[in-house]
Amino acid sequence: MIDSILNYLQASNILTLGVLILLSIYFILIVWIFIYKMLDLNSSISTEKNNLDSLLLGESKISNLNIIPKTINTTTITKELLEVNEISLVREASSGLSLLSIVSSTAPFIGLFGTVVGILESFAAFANTSKVSFSVIAPVISEALIATAAGIFVAIFAYTFHQIISRKVYTLNTYLKSQINIILSRV
């Protein structure tokens, strides 16, 4: 297995290698974003769920909530101020989602570009040969398709991670909206 990968990399041109390196960087980046955001969002959701539970139990101490800015006095709470803080918290929680979206939409095209270049090079190499059989062309084309497979592989993970994190952000936003409604009903 490792020998065939090394043979493929040695036989590949610089552009195909560049495509595979770019897709590898994409993959490392999306995995890092996913792990970081999942840890951050799970912590935030847990905190906001506990805060919501405290509010539902009727606790009067609301100054430790993330939805309320620490710099204001609790007597100046307004709906607008709470909504601005909600938007700020959701924007912070959803950072990185656009990058996952970009990777999920561009990775297949980057892989396809590598495949097209590989196929064009193989046809250029066969141009000087008078007779080429399918048994000669098939391995070259199958090697070129590895770039497309790599692009699709990266895109699948980027899209999946995007959806999972989007759902977590939605859950966090639901807790924040519930807290706002409870706080406003008490003011």
The tens digit of pLDDT for each residue in 22-81 reads 999 999 999 999 999 999 999 999 988 988 888 888 776 655 667 666 555 555 778 888
On whether the CB atoms of residues 148 and 112 are closer than 8 A, the answer is yes
Residue 22: φ, ψ to 5°: -60, -45
Q: How many other C-beta atoms lie within 10 A of the C-beta of residue 148?
A: 20
Q: What residues make up the domain containing 172?
A: 2-186
Instruction: Calculate what percentage of the chain has a pLDDT beyond 70.
Output: 88
CA dist., res. 100 & res. 106, Å (int): 10
Q: What is the greatest pairwise CA distance in the chain?
A: 87
Structurally, the chain folds into a number of domains equal to 1
> In this structure, what token pair is assigned to residue 187?
């003011």
**In the predicted model, is pLDDT for residue 94 greater than 80?**
yes
